[in-house]
Structure 1
Amino acid sequence: MLTGLLAGVVTAPPAGAAPGYRVPDYSTAEAGNPFVDGWYADPDVAIYGNQYWVFPTSSRPYEEQTYLDAFSSPDLVNWTKHPNVLTVANVSWAHKAVWAPAPIARNGKYYLYFAANDIQSNAELGGIGVAVADRPEGPYVDAIGRPLIGQFVNGAQPIDQDVFIDSDGRAYMYYGGWGHANVVRLGDDMVSLGTFDDGTTYREITPQNYVEGPQMFKRGNKYYLMWSEGGWTGPNYAVSYAMSDSPTGPFTRIDRVLSQDAAVARGSGHNSVLNIPGTDIWYIFYHRRPLNLTDANQRQVSYDRMYFNPDGTIKPVTMLVKDNFDDRNAIGWKTYGGSWSASTGRYTTTSSLGGKALLETNFGDLTADASITLNAGNGDAGVVFRVTQPATGVDSYRGYYAGISAAGRVLLGKADNGWTPLASAPTAIQPGRAYHLRVSALGSALRVYLDDMTTPKLAVTDASYASGANGVRVFNVAAGFDDLAIAHP
């Protein structure tokens, strides 16, 4: 992970930044979560040069976890995949369950710490290893030919390592599963264990409710230890934290800061933390499971903004739902009819009779925003909400739809494999112009706004549908969508 960085104020790009660098000051992954495609978990982060790096676990059955991929980005929006940065072919003692990579740079080298083999006792070969490379993307090669930590100490399974270099140059590793956490000192060579001032090598630091996945960072003069609680296969996986004046504790649990949101995702945990250099901008990277999936390995990596209170404590993290399509992809969207593309930085579709694209959300009360542009055709386009039972077809879903029509109307209605209009009003609509449409749904009170966010164009009462997925839809018109955001009211 990153070394501790002092809190600051955004005044200019960090030293050495490339021309045109813009400080990534976002409220969430505004081009959409998950921000990369595929099943991944346990993301850890690093900044190497002008690139942000994410190293996750490949979320597959243990026997298939024989490699690690990485992702890099200049802006936290556009990501490049680097496959197989580490494989068991380069680690003689590892053969499965390669987990929780922890990247860090020192001595002109790039180090990647990892767990392998999921050992269940000291009689088995496995534990925490360290690999080294000359470049951030590898290939990483086993540095010592054996596990760096290959035994249970203080009851801690040797997994889920995190590496932290303090402002005084001392390097630490935090690790442990099975409900126990240890901290060790790393040698200056980063491939050996050091000792504490009292001559010991291992120090137990287990806080209340600790399960696994420790993460250390420093803000100002305070040390923050984060960890995961609950079971990683279940919906209640979550992240809590403690603060201390020392990198070795004591660490007393303060609060839970990241939990599942039944409208957004489940099983949110095993996090890392990213601080934008020279700023007090912080992000929490973590994995989570889509709402409609239950397989333990169906996990995706995401990030959201992390904020602090004036006393230094962490505010609970809100998993926001946004997509401005600036990454030119539609990861996380599922389409039902029509031909959809995000290649231009907007989500566009050709004309179809009821083509839909949905996110796997389940909001009841909500505020939904989208920018909508009508292109060729004389139909309408807009947002759908509280949707269930979606299928390909004109009105093949149950839920609400609010949109704008090329005929010059704003409209609201509901579908149940048939269409029921609820309200409409005349308004000037020009092809090729973007309109800001907002829907507010509070219980049975439905409101539709267009450009003017103070006075609704439409207001009706209807209690047909209580909750469901969110997305966009067209009818007999080509359209483009942008700046989609779904939030709790």
Structure 2
Amino acid sequence: MTKNICCKPHLLFAAIVALAVGACQKKGETKTETETTPKKDSTEHFPKSIAEPLVTDIYTADPSAHVFDNKIYIYPSHDIEAGIPENDNGDHFDMRDYHILSMDSVGGPVTDHGVALDIKNIPWAGRQLWAPDAAFSKGTYYLYFPVKDKEDVFHIGVATSKSPAGPFTAQPKPIAGSYSIDPAVFQDTDGKSYMYFGGIWGGQLQRWITGKYDTLGKEPEGDVPAIGPRMARLSKDMLKFDEPVKEIKVIDKDGKPLLAKDHDRRFFEASWMHKYNGKYYFSYSTGDTHFIAYGIGDSPYGPFTYQGVILKPVIGWTNHHSIVEYKGQWYLFFHDSILSKGKTHLRSVKVTRLQYRPDGTIETINAYREE
């Protein structure tokens, strides 16, 4: 273990975060069933961030940012302290509603529009309302969300509204053929819309390798191809899949699929798609190595050739993002756990500029100022 930490700086970074989290928990903090309000003095022992939380009265995470009506709307998870011990299944991420944020300018005032959708108003939902996304088509706004059903299996649902800020009304059933977590909807310049989704470990994607749910399904190991994210084109009404779900590939420069053992590069969760200069950029989290990585392709179906890291590891275990252009500038929305003193399930959304190099690759971002 010592050897691995020395050879991989990001593992040392994660270990330091874990120690900080453990130290906080050993102080006998009281956990309640209600949301924990962030405290202003909670950042003193962490590195200086390049960005401040968009809001500090609630915890938010997994930001999906879009431009609607010339404003930026952010569709995040709403983190709460539910009093559940941390585990690899992510049971401590027990979110129960969504708040939508908006702003007229990056760095300007942020509006919290309140509860846009509550888990109790989703007929088929059981628990854990995780990272959402949104889209607009023909006068209607669509909120896509993953939640476990009453059998404790993740599926993806959709809710609709006439306002980008909601409130949203959920469809009575999940999208047929959907599973796992982290829906990301990309609307191409030709009018077609696609959903990318999936996440391993607590996101259950490893249980769907055969196309059918298997409670014993495991993440592949070693010199075999890594599990790939899933995608499907959406129907014109944006409420269902218009084709069978497909697995997409992230490949190396030689055209070979990334391997299961390659945890620094392989897909884990947090799909996002954007288009730049005619190319398709698929970005994602590597999970247990905590990078936001990306690949570039010539089609929304891929394959996507791995290019590198967009965002280095942040304080907290998870790393989740979105990329959006606004008024001629590209931005990266992300989260970290500085405000909660490193509690991985209590995160705060932030934003910073994203820059492209002349060859179209993306400059790597460090969320913290180097002393």
TM range (shorter): 0.5 to 0.7
CA distance in 2, matches of 1:317, 1:64: 29
Q: Residues 287 and 318 of structure 2 are in contact (CA less than 8 Å); yes or no, is this contact kept in structure 1?
A: no
**Deviation of the 1:126 alpha carbon:** 4.2
Tell me the alpha carbon deviations over residues 179-214 of structure 1, each in whole angstroms, 9 at most, x when there is no partner.
53111000000001112xxxxx11101423100010
Match of 1:218 in 2: 275
Deviating runs (4+, > 4 A) in structure 1?
A: 61-64, 123-126, 149-152
Match of 1:129 in 2: 157
Q: Residues 332 and 351 of structure 2 are in contact (CA less than 8 Å); yes or no, is this contact kept in structure 1?
A: yes
SS at match of 1:173: strand
**C-alpha distance 211-72 of structure 1, shift in aligned 2 (>3 A):** same
Tell me the alpha carbon deviations over residues 426-481 of structure 1, each in whole angstroms, 9 at most, x when there is no partner.
xxxxxxxxxxxxxxxxxxxxxxxxxxxxxxxxxxxxxxxxxxxxxxxxxxxxxxxx
Tell me the alpha carbon deviations over residues 222-263 of structure 1, each in whole angstroms, 9 at most, x when there is no partner.
0000000123xxxx42200000011110012221121136xx
Give the alignment of 1:322-333 within 5 angstroms. none
CA distance in 1, matches of 2:128, 2:110: 25
Q: Where does structure 2 lack aligned partners over 5 or more consecutive residues?
A: 1-48, 83-90, 201-226, 251-257, 259-265
Mark the structure with the bigger radius of gyration.
Answer: 1
**Deviation of the 1:124 alpha carbon:** 4.9
CA distance in 2, matches of 1:149, 1:34: 36
Tell me the alpha carbon deviations over residues 24-64 of structure 1, each in whole angstroms, 9 at most, x when there is no partner.
xxxxx98x511211322111011111321111111234584
Match of 1:246 in 2: 299
**C-alpha distance 292-189 of structure 1, shift in aligned 2 (>3 A):** closer
Q: Aligned letter for 2:273?
A: M
CA distance in 2, matches of 1:149, 1:316: 37
Q: Aligned letter for 1:205?
A: I
**C-alpha distance 128-192 of structure 1, shift in aligned 2 (>3 A):** same
**C-alpha distance 52-187 of structure 1, shift in aligned 2 (>3 A):** same
CA distance in 1, matches of 2:318, 2:331: 14
**C-alpha distance 133-229 of structure 1, shift in aligned 2 (>3 A):** same
TM-score (norm 2): 0.68
Aligned length: 271
Match of 1:428 in 2: none
CA distance in 1, matches of 2:284, 2:149: 19
Q: Residues 339 and 348 of structure 2 are in contact (CA less than 8 Å); yes or no, is this contact kept in structure 1?
A: no
**C-alpha distance 222-151 of structure 1, shift in aligned 2 (>3 A):** closer
CA distance in 1, matches of 2:299, 2:343: 39
2:74 paired residue among 54, 57, 71: 54
Match of 2:370 in 1: 488
SS at match of 1:89: helix
Higher relative contact order, chain-length normalized (CA < 8 Å, sep 6+): 2
**C-alpha distance 71-151 of structure 1, shift in aligned 2 (>3 A):** closer
Give the alignment of 1:17-166 within 5 angstroms. 32-37=51-56, 38-60=58-80, 61=82, 64-76=94-106, 77-117=108-148, 124=152, 126-143=154-171, 145-149=172-176, 152=179, 158-166=180-188
> Is residue 312 from structure 1 mapped to residue 360 from structure 2 by the alignment?
yes
Percent identity of equivalent pairs:
31
Q: Residues 39 and 300 of structure 1 are in contact (CA less than 8 Å); yes or no, is this contact kept in structure 2?
A: yes
Q: Residues 186 and 195 of structure 2 are in contact (CA less than 8 Å); yes or no, is this contact kept in structure 1?
A: yes
Q: Residues 307 and 317 of structure 1 are in contact (CA less than 8 Å); yes or no, is this contact kept in structure 2?
A: no
Q: Residues 195 and 234 of structure 2 are in contact (CA less than 8 Å); yes or no, is this contact kept in structure 1?
A: yes
Give the alignment of 1:159-238 within 5 angstroms. 159-178=181-200, 179-195=227-243, 201-207=244-250, 208=258, 209-231=266-288, 236-238=289-291
Give the alignment of 1:345-356 within 5 angstroms. none
Q: Where does structure 1 lack aligned partners over 5 or more consecutive residues?
A: 1-28, 153-157, 196-200, 321-486
**Deviation of the 1:91 alpha carbon:** 1.1
Structure showing the higher helix proportion among its residues: 2
CA distance in 1, matches of 2:339, 2:170: 38
CA distance in 2, matches of 1:71, 1:292: 20
**Deviation of the 1:295 alpha carbon:** 2.6
**C-alpha distance 306-149 of structure 1, shift in aligned 2 (>3 A):** farther
Q: Residues 43 and 285 of structure 1 are in contact (CA less than 8 Å); yes or no, is this contact kept in structure 2?
A: yes
SS at match of 2:131: strand
**Deviation of the 1:96 alpha carbon:** 1.6
Q: Aligned letter for 1:214?
A: S
CA distance in 1, matches of 2:355, 2:166: 33
Q: Residues 339 and 347 of structure 2 are in contact (CA less than 8 Å); yes or no, is this contact kept in structure 1?
A: no
SS at match of 1:137: coil
CA distance in 2, matches of 1:206, 1:124: 28
